[in-house]
Amino acid sequence: MSDTHVIRTERLTRYFGRRSVVRELNFTVPRGSVVGLLGLNGAGKTTTIRMLMGFLEPTRGSCEVLGHDSRRLTPEIRARIGHTVEGHFLYPWMRVRDCERFGRETHPKWDGTFFEQSVRRFGIDCEAKVSWLSRGQRAGVSLASTLAGDPELLILDDPALGLDPVSRRALNETIIEFCESGERTVLLSSHLLDDVERVADRVALMVDGRMLVDSTLDDFRNRVAAWIVDSTDNPTINHTIPGMVHCRSLGSRWHITVADPSEATVQAIESIGAHVESTDISFEDAVLAYLSRSRVGHSFYTGATS
Amino acid sequence: MQIRVIPGSSAAIYRQIADQVRRAVALGELAIGDPMPSVRALAKELVVNPNTVAKAYAELIRDGVLETQPGRGAFVAKRRSVYSKAERLRRLDEALETAVSAAVTLDFTSEEILARMRSKLEDLM
């Protein structure tokens, strides 16, 4: 049902020249969720967002937002989507007050009080000129302008890039407050895993244009497991471990991370022979495991294959 | 009581919240009948997704640590045993196993571990 999913893509694909940047994406975002969109630079996150917003034509496949094809979004539907671009572009000659007026005149629904509240949270003076603002403050104005339009769906493209810790906290607080009714949906692309762990309840993880993970945060965590093995030499030289993502040295012990471990994985690890124990991993470990595996395919990595 | 969450830890955030509430109840920092903040209020205070707080509360309610009163929110429940003796033993073993295996890999002797355990128990009981 399009009503329970505010974003839906079907085999969404985009080429730039001969290079595929987004490949066969089947991705859905349920209403009311906060989705952390993760991936290395160049994984296809921004290209996906631009196709969702209808700024870029898919080469193949399709995508819809709020139940409407992204290629044919009317101004009325667009008004229900809030979108901030990477870097938080604003007209530099405006004062913050002008940004508020600009927003009021370009949005059918406009909540001036919310704008002022958000701006205050970022410690911004309404008389200040946009060109005087710090990056964090610019993010604040851009976010306030987007949220005051009362969107149902908020798409934030790396909003935390280059923000100081205080602005980052203000950003997180603003997102939590925005979604507290459970009716609004957020798609948040970010590299800050701690912040994503806090504010998101779903993860979508892209690697080389493909979406490898699209699930709740907890399910995702449960898919990745780790073991600690006592061994003087790297145990993966003589043992192939199915699903292995990463093996790093902890002195005389080795920390092995595995995605979707199978019976065969457990057997392989136990067959190393030395003392073996399974260990807990953090959300960050789990994400890094997936992202570092992505480097396996096309770089220096020649060890055990995954 | 003050709940703190630390992202990037090996315990999921909902688990950190649930464990801290359990501990506060065990230590008497939270008394029977004390009201808990609403899911929204706590989510805002901790700056975490409301569903994460809801998940922690759901677990605490399921385990009988908290109870809900319709229209009034969640409160610290009277301590009652919701599990059979066998189930309680199983849970105790599970908890001890984790602690013991962690302790052993840290190279402590049985005496040292038992002594620490005893002093922790004395703090709580």
pLDDT tens for A132-162 read 888 888 888 998 999 899 899 999 999 988 8
Residue A301 pLDDT > 90: no
Alpha-carbon distance of B72 to B83, in angstroms, equals: 27
Q: Tell me which chain B residue has its CA closest to the CA of residue A219.
A: B12
Give every CB contact of residue B88 below 8 A, 6+ residues apart in sequence.
B81
Instruction: Find all residues with CB under 8 Å of A84, minimum gap 6, and list them.
Output: A142, A143, A146, A155, A156, A157, A159
pTM: 0.81
* Per-residue pLDDT at B21 exceeds 90: yes
**Yes or no, beta carbons of A198 and B50 under 8 Å apart:** no
Q: Using the predicted structure, report yes or no on whether residue A3 has a pLDDT greater than 90.
A: no
If pLDDT is split at 50, 70 and 90, which confidence band does A12 have? Answer: very high
Whether residue A193 and residue B8 make contact (CB cut-off 8 A), yes or no, is yes
> ipTM more than 0.85?
no
Question: DSSP E strands: which ranges in chain A?
Answer: 5-16, 19-30, 34-38, 60-65, 68-69, 81-84, 153-157, 185-189, 202-207, 210-216, 224-230, 244-250, 253-259, 276-279
CA distance A278 to A266: 10
What chain B residue is nearest to A194 in terms of C-alpha separation?
Answer: B7
Answer positive or negative: Cα dihedral of A67, A83, A46, A40: negative
Mean pLDDT of B55-83: 86
Among A176, A182, A193, select the one facing B47 at the smallest CB separation. Answer: A176
Q: Is the pLDDT of residue A278 over 90?
A: no
Assign A293 a pLDDT band (cuts: 50, 70, 90). Answer: low
Residue-wise pLDDT tens digits, B89-119: 888 898 899 888 888 888 888 899 999 999 9
Contact A198 B9 (CB under 8 A): no
Instruction: Find the closest chain A residue to B105 by CA distance.
Output: A277
pLDDT tens digits for range A69-110: 999 999 999 999 999 988 888 888 999 999 999 999 988 889
